[in-house]
């Protein structure tokens, strides 16, 4: 059995993994690359595999960096099903056409410049028509439903707590030597959010593909602190008289913001500002959220039980047309404008930034991760000037970052999630993270006796059938592992740590080899 990392390796985006069992070729995610130009360029080239050879796609969630190349996959010959949770499938029905529209608009803009420069024109990655064409291959599955994929392979989707409908995926593949279990974490969420449930724990796996987006940091703010900071920023912006721009992802982040602003309004804590959702996509997504209340966490479910729509902010205005969006740029202030995209790389937020970044009374509030190379990252890193639509814009607006809204698990949560395995996997592959994040998480996992590997882009690894020792033998090892972790905390000397970890790895191999076979 082989696993190839066609995306989210050596970078954060473009999630795509191909599991070849020898009888089936299963793709987990097929996402769009985002960020630096050289990373984005990967979207335009040919797939490094034959699309028609893929039997099926398992989709962890609807975010474009996990789902955004599925229309291209279908366009190039993939004819199998795409399995995702019910909410994920519904979200993709609005996200895929929107993404196709963005590809067309982006290429149209590039080709206008290319014609003027005498350069050849380029084709879009896929069109809106291609996006609509792929939707017939999407099939919904329920959480915790065991799905037989065929040829000794089965899978199960479990709640990853990242966005509504997000899943971690367990795959079991049987061959003559036994059964091997591989777990793909997808994107794991933070705890304690009001709309989505906390990520579920997994007890065992032979191999784990683990996200590491925030592997090098601990969230400095919890959700409650960020909620208060959001209220403070709204009031400060109101007093300054400028517009408050909030670049937000259409899925989850926008709905969390609406949830909290509604709570401020219900408590009489919201100033007399105009709240605008300037994203037809986010408006459509918010409606889909209303169709899946069974996925809500306890807090939001409790509000629904009392007859209160947690996303039903009365003061909310929707800018659905281009003209309505443009009209907001004529307003000198007093607006809270939530618009996509979340990293400022596309969408209506770029027009609002062009008209507001140079205003000292304006505020830009970031509430999500900003990948390296994006406009959002540049602004967070203190850029004094940026280029928008061919024009250089000076940055005089106040730039604020609220960290507690992150939909990604931080280092502590990732460590706790892995440590909850009754037996650590044979091997952990770190993906979906920048190098510093992966290196930091690799060290943290080593402290609990878990060896992690950082695969390269397009690298293929062999997965041997899992070797599972007797339960009692493994309990002895688990106790020793806990004591070792305590020792490493008390003795941080690098050479000492290395020797202890080497001995622990040797002991693990010894126990696995002699502990009762596959059990």
Domain final residue, candidates 401, 428, 452? 401
| Interval 299-303 mean pLDDT | 90
- Burial (CB count <10 Å: 0-12, 13-18, 19+), residue 112: exposed
> Do 338 and 194 lie in a common domain?
no
* Residue 269 resides in a domain: yes
> Do 174 and 35 lie in a common domain?
yes
- Give residue 460's pLDDT: 97
CATH number of the CATH domain containing 188: 3.60.15.10
CA 482, CA 448: separation in Å to the nearest integer?
7
CA 200, CA 217: separation in Å to the nearest integer?
21
CA 223, CA 259: separation in Å to the nearest integer?
13
Q: What DSSP string describes 419-477?
A: HTSSS--SEEEEESS-HHHHHHHHHHHHTTT--EE-PPTT-EEE-PPP----HHHHHHH
- Give residue 518's pLDDT: 38
- Give residue 477's pLDDT: 59
Structure tokens at 82: 């795409």
SS3 state of residue 368: coil
CATH number of the CATH domain containing 313: 3.40.50.10890
Average pLDDT, the chain: 90
Structure tokens at 321: 């047309």
> Do 168 and 255 lie in a common domain?
no
* Residue 140 resides in a domain: yes
Q: Summarize pLDDT for 420-469 with one digit per residue, the tens.
A: 998 889 999 999 999 999 999 999 999 998 999 999 999 999 998 765 55
Q: Summarize pLDDT for 348-359 with one digit per residue, the tens.
A: 999 999 999 999
| Interval 501-509 mean pLDDT | 67
> Do 441 and 393 lie in a common domain?
no
Q: What is the count of structural domains for the chain?
A: 2
**pLDDT confidence of 485, banded at 50, 70, 90?**
low
> Do 329 and 262 lie in a common domain?
yes
> Do 11 and 36 lie in a common domain?
yes
Domain final residue, candidates 418, 451, 466? 466
241, 361 Cβ separation under 8 angstroms: yes
> Do 6 and 59 lie in a common domain?
yes
Q: Summarize pLDDT for 113-130 with one digit per residue, the tens.
A: 889 999 998 899 999 999
CA 131, CA 274: separation in Å to the nearest integer?
34
Least confident of 356-360, 390-394, 492-496: 492-496
What percentage of the chain carries pLDDT values higher than 70? 89
* Residue 501 resides in a domain: no
> Do 397 and 439 lie in a common domain?
no
Domain that holds residue 453: 2-217+407-466
Domain final residue, candidates 446, 466, 486? 466
* Residue 100 resides in a domain: yes
């Amino acid at each position: 059995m082989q696993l190839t990392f066609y995306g989210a390796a050596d970078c954060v985006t473009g999630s795509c993994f191909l599991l070849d069992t020898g009888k089936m070729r299963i793709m987990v995610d097929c996402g769009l690359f985002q960020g630096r130009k050289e990373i984005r360029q990967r979207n335009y080239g040919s797939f490094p595999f034959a699309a028609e050879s893929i039997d099926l796609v398992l989709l962890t969630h609807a975010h474009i960096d996990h789902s955004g190349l599925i229309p291209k996959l279908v366009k190039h010959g993939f004819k199998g099903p795409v399995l995702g949770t019910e909410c994920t499938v519904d979200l993709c029905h609005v996200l895929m056409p929107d993404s196709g529209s963005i590809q067309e608009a982006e290429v149209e803009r590039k080709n206008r410049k290319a014609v003027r420069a005498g350069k050849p024109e380029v084709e879009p990655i896929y069109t809106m028509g291609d996006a609509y064409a792929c939707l017939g291959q999407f099939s919904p599955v329920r959480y915790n439903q065991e799905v037989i994929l065929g040829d000794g392979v089965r899978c199960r989707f479990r709640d990853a707590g990242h966005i509504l409908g997000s899943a971690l995926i367990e795959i079991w593949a049987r061959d003559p030597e036994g059964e091997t279990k591989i777990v793909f974490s997808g994107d794991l969420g933070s705890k304690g959010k009001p709309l989505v449930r906390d990520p579920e724990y997994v007890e065992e796996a032979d191999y784990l593909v683990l996200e590491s987006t925030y592997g090098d940091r601990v969230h400095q703010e919890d959700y409650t602190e960020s909620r208060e900071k959001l209220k403070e920023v709204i009031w400060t912006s109101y007093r300054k008289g400028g517009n408050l721009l909030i670049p937000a992802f259409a899925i989850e982040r926008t709905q969390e913001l609406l949830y909290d602003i509604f709570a401020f309004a219900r408590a009489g804590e919201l100033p007399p500002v105009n709240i605008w959702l300037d994203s037809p996509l986010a408006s459509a997504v918010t409606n889909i959220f209303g169709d899946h209340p069974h996925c809500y966490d306890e807090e939001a479910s409790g509000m629904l039980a009392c007859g209160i729509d947690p996303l039903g902010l009365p003061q909310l205005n929707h800018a659905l047309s281009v003209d309505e969006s443009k009209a907001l740029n004529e307003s000198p202030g007093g607006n809270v404008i939530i618009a996509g995209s979340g990293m400022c790389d596309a969408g209506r937020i770029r027009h609002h930034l062009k008209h507001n970044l140079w205003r000292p009374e304006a505020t830009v509030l970031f509430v999500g991760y900003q990948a390296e190379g994006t406009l959002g990252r540049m602004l967070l890193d203190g850029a004094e000037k940026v280029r928008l639509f061919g024009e250089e814009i000076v940055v005089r607006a106040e730039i604020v970052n609220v960290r507690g809204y992150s939909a990604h698990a931080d280092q502590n949560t990732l460590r706790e999630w892995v440590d909850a395995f009754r037996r650590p996997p044979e091997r952990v592959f770190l993906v979906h993270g920048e190098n510093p994040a992966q290196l930091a998480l690799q060290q943290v996992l080593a402290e609990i006796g878990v060896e992690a590997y950082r695969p390269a882009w397009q690298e293929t690894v062999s997965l041997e059938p899992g070797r599972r020792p007797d339960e009692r033998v493994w309990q002895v090892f688990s106790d020793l592992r806990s004591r070792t972790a305590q020792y490493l905390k008390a003795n941080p000397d690098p050479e000492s740590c290395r020797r202890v970890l080497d001995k622990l790895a040797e002991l693990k191999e010894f126990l696995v080899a002699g502990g009762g076979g596959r059990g």
